[in-house]
């Protein structure tokens, strides 16, 4: 079974440009999460989808970040326009918790390393 896959693995863009990151969760996983680690900091939660609905987007840093999950399958995270401080590694994770019982693990992708120059 394929794990969580993220594309691209690396991206280098100039300040002011737009970048779109993609995440394909494990098939059948309704829950999809985005996290990121910026240089020297801890891994931080960005947002959580349940199917196509945003369940929690409290970690999104500002309105330059837009996440979508049309159809409840793969998700995209767009950064527009990118700033230098957006550089870091963006992780996607998915899980299959049944409603209300959070007794399962999340599976993470390998991440996308974003460098804004």
Q: Note whether 7 binds other proteins by CB under 8 A.
A: no
Q: How far is CA 91 from CA 6, 21, 24, 32, 98, in A?
A: 8, 10, 11, 11, 22
State the nearest-atom distance from the C-beta of 70 to other proteins, in Å: 21
Q: Is 97 in the site for other proteins (CB under 8 A)?
A: yes
Cβ nearer to other proteins, comparing 71 with 98: 98
Q: Can residue 27 be called a binding residue for other proteins (CB under 8 A)?
A: no
- Residues facing 19 on adjacent strands: 79
Which of 43, 66, 85, 117: binder of other proteins (CB under 8 A)?
43
Residue 29 binds to other proteins (criterion: CB under 8 A): no
Rounded to whole angstroms, the Cα distance separating 63 from 24 reads 23
3-state secondary structure 56-98: ECCCCCCCCEEEECHHHCCEEEEECCCCHHHCEEEEEEEECCC
Maximum alpha-carbon separation in the chain: 43
4 binding other proteins? (CB under 8 A): yes
Contact status: 28 vs other proteins (CB under 8 A):
no
| Footprint on this chain of other proteins (rule: CB under 8 A) | 4, 31, 33, 35, 42-45, 48, 50, 55-56, 58-59, 91, 93, 95, 97, 99-103, 105-111
């Amino acid at each position: 079974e394929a794990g969580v896959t993220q594309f691209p693995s690396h991206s280098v863009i100039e300040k002011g440009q737009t970048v779109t990151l993609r995440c394909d969760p494990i098939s059948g996983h309704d829950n999809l999460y985005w996290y990121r680690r910026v240089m020297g900091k801890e891994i931080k939660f960005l947002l959580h989808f349940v199917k196509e609905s945003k369940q929690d987007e409290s970690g999104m840093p500002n309105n330059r970040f837009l996440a979508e999950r049309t159809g409840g399958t793969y998700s995209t995270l767009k950064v527009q326009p990118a700033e230098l401080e957006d550089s870091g590694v963006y992780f996607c994770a998915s899980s299959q918790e049944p409603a209300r019982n959070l007794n399962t693990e999340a599976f993470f992708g390998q991440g996308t390393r974003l460098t804004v120059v």
